[in-house]
Amino acid sequence: MNTTTKGRDLLDRRTAQEIERFLRARRMALARLIRRGLDERQEHAGEDSDAVASASRTLDDEVQATLVDRASRELGQVDAALELLREQRYGLCRDCGAFIGLARLRSLPFAQRCRPCQERAEAQAARSRRPVAVMATTEPE
């Protein structure tokens, strides 16, 4: 893959392969975490007989559900980044089309906005008091 950048860093084939390997490994780790979290919740269903143990198990289940939810959302972001790699659109800002930058992509490999566009989106979300995802996966282009 070769993404042009108007004089900025470019995403060469080696870097794209490095990021793809990281994303695939992250995808497998997230899938294992989700599977394990769901299995643990099922193992403990109906296991507690007293109120204290039941309350503790409920808290544990809620924490586990939150972790599984977070991992599921990240898995969606990783899948979206892998799709962009396949389409040779990885590394381009979804808002302005500029190259996101290697430093940002290495620290946040599923970023879909350059830093200035992400800051604008976050500021706009703060003004309207609704959360904005760092990397949305289902918005139309």
List pLDDT tens digits, range 72-125.
999 999 999 999 999 989 999 999 999 999 999 989 998 999 999 999 999 998
Is 44's pLDDT higher than 70?
no
- Poorest-pLDDT segment among 9-23, 107-121, 127-141: 127-141
Is 6's pLDDT higher than 50?
no
Query: Is the distance from CB of 19 to CB of 85 less than 8 angstroms?
Result: yes
pLDDT of res. 27: 96
- Please give the Cα distance from 90 to 68 (Å, whole number): 26
Is 34's pLDDT higher than 90?
yes
Q: To which residue do tokens 């396949």 refer?
A: 86
Of the pLDDT bands very low, low, confident and very high (cuts 50, 70, 90), residue 38 is: confident
Of the pLDDT bands very low, low, confident and very high (cuts 50, 70, 90), residue 5 is: very low
Query: Is the distance from CB of 134 to CB of 80 less than 8 angstroms?
Result: no
CATH fold of 13-128: Four Helix Bundle (Hemerythrin (Met), subunit A) (1.20.120)
Q: Which has more pLDDT, 98 or 12?
A: 98
Is 46's pLDDT higher than 60?
no
The angle formed by the CA atoms of residues 36, 41 and 43, to the nearest 5 degrees, is 90
Give the chain's mean pLDDT. Answer: 81
